[in-house]
C-alpha cells in the first residue's frame, strides 16, 4: 500500500487501512470495528457469568449468614458447618502432604532424571490422568478402597482418591519450574564442589520454589471444591472428623452445597448457600496467594 | 576472559551434558545419585500406576455386566433396575434381578449433545477474548481478564451447579428459551430448537453451564498459543498495510489454529466428564434421548453420581456392575479424546497442552 502522498503521511501511525490511492478503505475499517466489537462481546460473555456466579453466591449467603455456622457442628435441624469446615481442612492438609510429596518428587524426576521415551510416557500418563473425569476416580476409589480394602467411608480413601486427581497438577508445575532454572546454576554449584543432592536441594529446588508453590496452591484450590471423588469415598458425617484414617466418614463443604440446596427446610438451604460462600472465599484466597507468590518472585528475580 | 563458550550454541537439552560432567567427576555415590533417582522415579510412576489401576478396577468390576448387557448396551434405551422383590436369576453366570436391563444410548446422547453445545458456545467466545487480550488490550487489562479466567477455573463445580439450578436455569427458562422456541420456524432440522421450555433444567442449561466451565481452559490455552505467534510475520503484515484486526484475523489466528483446535478438543473432554454441575441442572431423566434443547436429560457422569446410592440397594450387585460399565465407557471416551488432542497439538504445533481446568 502506498502511503507516500502528502496527506496520507499523517495517517500512517494510526494504521488505518488504505486503498490503492491512499484513501481510507472504509469497509476494512468497518471490518475492524465489527471484529474487535465481537471480541469485546466475548470478554463480556466471560465476565457476565463470573459476576453472576459470584453475586448469586454472595447475594444468597450474606442475608442468611450467621457467624455460628463456623463454630457449630451440624445436626438434624440444620446446625452449623464446623464439622464440614474441619473435614475440608483435614482433607486439604492430607492432600497437600500426600499429593504434594508425590507430585513434587515426580516433577523432580521428570525434569532432572528422566530421559527420552520414559519421560515422555510418564509425562503423558500424568497429563491423561488429569483428564480422567473426577467421578470415575471416585467410583474406582469406592470399589477399590471403600469396598475391596474394607476401609469403609474414610479419610484415607478420600485422600488417595483426591490425590490421584491433584498429583498431575503439582508434577507438571514442579517440572516446569525446575526446567526454568538456568543450567548455569547447576553447573556453578558443581564447579563450587557441591554434591549433586545438595545442589538439587540448595540450588535447583530453591530457585524453583516459587513456581512449585504456585502449582501447589492451584492444586489446593482445585481440591477444596472437588465433590465427585469424595461423595463415595469420604461419605458424610454430622460430627467432627475423628483422627482415624479408616472406618470413619468425614463431612466436607461441597457435600452440603450438593445435598442441602433443594431440601424443603430453609435452615438447610441457608447452610448450602453458606457452604458455597465459604468455598468461594477459600478458592479466592488460594488464587490470590498464588498471584502474590508470582508477583513477589517477578519483582525479586533479575530479568535476562 | 574469552567469550568462546558463550559464543557456542548451547545443546538442545543441556542437562544430559551436565549430568555427564557430574558422572565423570566421581560423585555418583548411592546416596548422591542413585537413591534420589530411585525415590523420584517411584513417584513419577504413580500417575501411570493410577491410570492402569483405574482401567483395571473398572474392567474387573464391569466385566460380568459387560457380558450380560452385551454390545447392544450401546444402543438400547432401557433403564430398568428389575424386580428387587423376586428371587434374582442367573443369566450366563451373572446374577441379576428379574427383568433388569440397562442401555447406554440416552446417556451417551445426553453426554455428547450437552458437550457439543458447550464447545460450540465456549470456543468462539474463548478465541475472541484471547484475540482481544493478546492483540489489542494493554498489559494491565489483559492481566485482569487472566484473573477472571483463573477465578472461573477455580470456582467449584457444585457452586456452578447451585448457580445453574437457582439463577441461570430459571433465567434461561423465563427470558431466553421462550424467545428462541417461539421464533424458530417449523422446519425439520430446527425442531431441535422448538419445544416446551420447561423450568430450566435440561439440555440447554446443562450445555451452557458446561460452556462457562470449559471457557477457562480453552481461552487460557488459546491466549498462550496466540502469544507464541512470532513478531516478524505480524510486523510484516502491518508493514504491508494490514489493519490490526486483519493481522489478528489473517496472521495470528491461522498461526495458532492447530493448537486452538487441540484446546477445543481438550475442552470437549472436560465437558464430557463434568459431573456435579450437570447432575444439578440436567433434570436427571434416564432412559430417553433428548430430542429438543429444553428436555430434561442426564449424562454418563451425572448418572453415576446420582444412581450409585440407589445401585447399592440391588442385592445382586448387578446395578453397581452396570455403573462400572458406564464409568469404563466414560473413561475410555475421555482418554481417547484427551490423547487425540495432545497428539494432534504436539505433532502440528510442537507445543504441549495444559492439563485439567487450565488455571
Residue from A11, A16, A6 nearest B241 by CA: A16
Angle between helices B46-69 and A82-108 (to 10 degrees): 110
Q: What is the pLDDT of residue B250?
A: 92
Q: Which long-range contacts (CB under 8 A, 24 or more apart) does B194-200 make?
A: B194/B292, B195/B292, B195/B293, B195/B294, B195/B295, B196/B294, B197/B173, B197/B294, B198/B173, B198/B283, B198/B294, B198/B295, B198/B296, B199/B169, B199/B170, B199/B173, B200/B168, B200/B169, B200/B170, B200/B171, B200/B172, B200/B173, B200/B174, B200/B281
A residues 54..83 contacting B (CB < 8 A): 54, 56-57, 60
Q: What is the pLDDT of residue B72?
A: 72
Q: What is the pLDDT of residue A161?
A: 94
Cβ-proximal residues to A170 (8 Å cutoff; 6+ apart), any chain: A99, A100, A102, A103, A104, A106, A107, A212, A215, A216, A219
- Which helix (H) or strand (E) is B91 found in, with range? strand B89-91
- For the stretch A282-303, pLDDT in tens is 999 999 998 898 888 877 665 5
The answer to whether position B211 is within a domain reads yes
Q: What is the pLDDT of residue A2?
A: 43
- For the stretch A224-244, pLDDT in tens is 988 888 988 888 877 777 777
Q: Cβ of A105 under 8 Å from any chain B Cβ? A: yes
Q: What is the pLDDT of residue B356?
A: 63
CA triplet A112, A169, B300: central angle to 5 degrees? 140
| A121: nearest CA partner in chain B | B48
Contacts of A187 in chain B (CB under 8 A): 18, 21
Residue from B288, B150, B158, B135 nearest B223 by CA: B135
Domain span holding position B172: 102-348
Q: What is the pLDDT of residue B165?
A: 92
Q: Cβ of B287 under 8 Å from any chain A Cβ? A: no
Query: Does B46 contact A124 at a Cβ distance shorter than 8 Å?
Result: no
What's the gap between Cα A165 and its chain centre? Answer: 11
The Cα A134–Cα A225 span in angstroms is: 12
**Average pLDDT of span A203-225:** 90
In angstroms, the separation between the Cα of residue B105 and the nearest Cα of chain A is 19
Q: Cβ of B27 under 8 Å from any chain A Cβ? A: yes
* pLDDT reading at A256 higher than 60: yes
CA triplet A259, A265, A268: central angle to 5 degrees? 45
The answer to whether position B28 is within a domain reads no
Q: What is the pLDDT of residue B176?
A: 82
The answer to whether position B92 is within a domain reads no
- For the stretch B89-112, pLDDT in tens is 777 667 777 777 787 888 999 999
Cell triple for A22: 491512499
Query: Does A133 contact B39 at a Cβ distance shorter than 8 Å?
Result: no
Q: Residue B120: give its domain's CATH number.
A: 1.10.3720.10
Cβ-proximal residues to B96 (8 Å cutoff; 6+ apart), any chain: B68, B82, B88, B89, B90, B316, B318
The Cα B281–Cα B306 span in angstroms is: 12
Residue from B52, B339, B357, B47 nearest A103 by CA: B47
**Average pLDDT of span A114-127:** 88
A78 forms beta bridges with: A75
Q: Are A277 and B162 in contact (CB under 8 A)?
A: no
- The 8-class DSSP code of residue B283 comes to B
Angle between helices B203-227 and B139-154 (to 10 degrees): 140
Q: Is the dihedral of CA B75, B77, B79, B80 positive or negative?
A: negative
Q: Cβ of B335 under 8 Å from any chain A Cβ? A: yes
Helix/strand/coil for A247:
coil
In angstroms, the separation between the Cα of residue B196 and the nearest Cα of chain A is 23
Beta strand A78-79 with A74-75: parallel, antiparallel or unpaired?
Answer: antiparallel
Contacts of A149 in chain B (CB under 8 A): none
- Name the stretches of chain B with pLDDT < 70: 1-28, 84, 92-93, 356-359
In angstroms, the separation between the Cα of residue A242 and the nearest Cα of chain B is 24
Of A16, A17, A172, the CB nearest to B355: A172
The answer to whether position B335 is within a domain reads yes
Q: Cβ of B176 under 8 Å from any chain A Cβ? A: no
In angstroms, the separation between the Cα of residue B34 and the nearest Cα of chain A is 10
The answer to whether position B169 is within a domain reads yes
Torsion of CA B243, B249, B255, B260, to 10 degrees: 150
Q: What is the pLDDT of residue A135?
A: 92
Split into its structural domains, chain B has a count of 1
Cell triple for A253: 463443604
The answer to whether position B46 is within a domain reads no
Three-state SS sequence of B163-227: HHHHHHHHHHHHHHHHHHHHHCCCCCHHHHHCCCCCCCCCHHHHHHHHHHHHHHHHHHHHHHHHH
- The 8-class DSSP code of residue B122 comes to H
The Cα A173–Cα A161 span in angstroms is: 20
The answer to whether position B57 is within a domain reads no
Helix/strand/coil for A78:
strand
Q: Where are the beta strands (DSSP E) in A4-154?
A: 74-75, 78-79
Say how many CA atoms lie within 13 Å of A258 toward its Cβ. 24
The answer to whether position B127 is within a domain reads yes
Q: Is the dihedral of CA B270, B275, B278, B282 positive or negative?
A: positive
In angstroms, the separation between the Cα of residue B183 and the nearest Cα of chain A is 23
Query: Does A225 contact B157 at a Cβ distance shorter than 8 Å?
Result: yes
Q: Are B101 and B76 in contact (CB under 8 A)?
A: yes
- For the stretch A20-69, pLDDT in tens is 887 888 888 889 899 999 999 999 999 999 999 999 999 999 988 888 88
Q: What is the pLDDT of residue B101?
A: 76
| B132: nearest CA partner in chain A | A39
Kindly provide the ipTM of the predicted complex, given to two decimals: 0.89
Residue from A251, A240, A17 nearest A153 by CA: A251
Residue from B212, B205, B217 nearest B299 by CA: B205
Q: What is the pLDDT of residue A284?
A: 93
Amino acid at each position: 500500500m502506498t502511503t507516500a502522498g502528502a496527506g496520507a503521511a499523517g495517517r500512517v501511525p494510526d494504521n488505518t487501512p488504505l486503498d490503492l490511492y491512499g484513501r481510507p478503505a472504509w469497509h476494512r475499517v468497518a471490518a475492524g470495528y465489527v471484529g474487535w466489537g465481537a471480541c469485546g462481546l466475548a470478554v463480556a460473555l466471560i465476565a457476565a457469568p463470573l459476576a453472576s456466579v459470584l453475586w448469586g453466591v454472595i447475594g444468597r449467603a450474606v442475608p442468611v449468614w450467621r457467624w455460628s455456622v463456623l463454630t457449630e457442628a451440624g445436626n438434624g435441624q440444620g446446625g452449623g458447618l464446623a464439622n464440614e469446615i474441619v473435614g475440608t481442612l483435614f482433607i486439604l492438609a492430607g492432600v497437600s502432604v500426600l499429593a504434594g510429596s508425590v507430585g513434587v518428587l515426580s516433577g523432580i524426576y521428570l525434569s532432572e532424571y528422566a530421559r527420552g521415551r520414559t519421560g515422555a510416557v510418564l509425562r503423558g500418563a500424568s497429563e491423561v490422568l488429569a483428564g480422567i473425569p473426577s467421578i470415575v476416580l471416585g467410583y474406582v476409589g469406592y470399589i477399590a478402597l471403600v469396598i475391596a480394602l474394607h476401609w469403609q467411608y474414610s479419610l484415607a480413601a478420600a485422600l488417595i482418591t483426591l490425590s490421584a486427581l491433584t498429583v498431575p497438577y503439582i508434577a507438571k508445575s514442579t517440572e516446569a519450574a525446575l526446567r526454568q532454572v538456568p543450567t548455569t546454576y547447576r553447573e556453578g554449584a558443581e564447579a563450587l564442589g557441591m554434591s549433586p543432592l545438595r545442589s538439587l536441594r540448595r540450588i535447583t529446588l530453591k530457585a524453583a520454589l516459587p513456581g512449585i508453590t504456585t502449582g501447589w496452591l492451584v492444586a489446593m484450590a482445585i481440591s477444596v471444591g472437588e465433590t465427585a471423588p469424595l461423595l463415595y469415598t469420604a461419605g458424610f458425617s454430622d460430627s467432627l472428623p475423628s483422627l482415624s484414617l479408616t472406618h470413619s466418614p468425614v463431612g466436607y463443604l461441597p457435600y452440603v452445597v450438593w445435598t442441602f440446596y433443594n431440601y424443603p427446610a430453609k435452615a438447610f438451604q441457608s447452610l448450602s448457600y453458606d457452604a458455597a460462600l465459604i468455598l468461594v472465599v477459600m478458592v479466592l484466597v488460594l488464587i490470590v496467594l498464588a498471584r502474590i507468590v508470582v508477583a513477589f518472585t517477578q519483582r525479586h528475580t533479575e530479568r535476562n | 576472559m574469552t567469550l568462546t563458550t558463550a559464543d557456542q550454541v548451547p545443546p538442545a537439552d543441556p542437562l544430559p551434558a551436565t549430568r555427564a560432567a557430574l558422572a565423570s567427576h566421581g560423585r555418583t555415590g548411592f546416596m548422591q545419585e542413585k537413591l534420589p533417582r530411585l525415590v523420584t522415579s517411584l513417584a513419577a510412576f504413580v500417575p501411570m500406576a493410577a491410570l492402569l489401576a483405574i482401567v483395571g478396577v473398572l474392567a474387573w468390576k464391569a466385566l460380568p455386566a459387560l457380558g450380560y448387557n452385551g454390545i447392544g448396551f450401546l444402543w438400547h434405551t432401557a433403564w430398568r433396575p428389575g424386580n428387587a422383590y423376586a428371587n434374582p436369576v442367573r443369566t450366563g453366570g451373572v446374577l441379576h434381578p428379574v427383568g433388569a436391563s440397562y442401555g447406554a444410548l440416552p446417556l451417551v446422547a445426553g453426554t455428547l449433545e450437552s458437550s457439543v453445545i458447550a464447545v460450540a458456545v465456549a470456543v468462539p467466545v474463548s478465541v475472541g477474548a484471547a484475540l482481544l487480550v493478546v492483540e489489542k488490550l494493554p498489559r494491565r487489562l489483559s492481566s485482569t481478564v487472566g484473573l477472571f479466567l483463573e477465578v472461573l477455573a477455580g470456582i467449584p463445580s457444585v457452586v456452578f451447579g447451585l448457580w445453574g439450578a437457582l439463577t441461570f436455569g430459571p433465567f434461561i427458562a423465563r427470558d431466553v428459551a421462550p424467545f428462541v422456541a417461539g421464533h424458530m420456524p417449523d422446519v425439520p432440522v430446527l425442531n431441535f430448537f422448538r419445544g416446551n421450555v420447561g423450568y430450566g433444567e435440561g439440555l440447554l442449561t446443562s450445555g451452557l453451564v458446561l460452556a462457562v466451565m470449559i471457557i477457562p481452559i480453552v481461552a487460557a490455552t488459546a491466549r498462550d498459543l496466540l502469544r507464541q505467534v512470532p513478531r516478524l510475520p505480524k510486523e510484516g503484515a502491518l508493514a504491508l498495510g494490514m489493519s490490526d484486526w486483519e493481522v489478528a484475523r489473517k496472521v495470528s489466528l491461522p498461526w495458532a489454529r492447530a493448537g486452538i483446535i487441540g484446546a477445543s478438543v481438550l475442552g470437549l473432554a472436560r465437558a464430557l466428564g463434568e459431573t456435579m454441575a450437570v447432575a444439578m441442572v440436567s433434570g436427571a431423566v434416564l432412559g430417553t434421548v433428548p430430542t429438543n434443547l429444553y428436555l430434561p436429560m442426564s449424562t454418563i457422569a451425572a448418572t453415576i453420581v446420582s444412581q450409585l446410592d440407589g445401585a447399592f440397594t440391588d442385592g445382586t450387585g448387578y446395578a453397581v456392575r452396570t455403573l462400572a460399565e458406564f464409568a469404563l465407557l466414560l473413561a475410555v471416551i475421555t482418554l481417547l479424546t484427551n490423547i487425540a488432542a495432545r497428539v494432534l497439538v504436539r505433532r502440528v504445533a510442537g507445543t504441549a497442552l495444559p492439563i485439567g481446568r487450565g488455571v
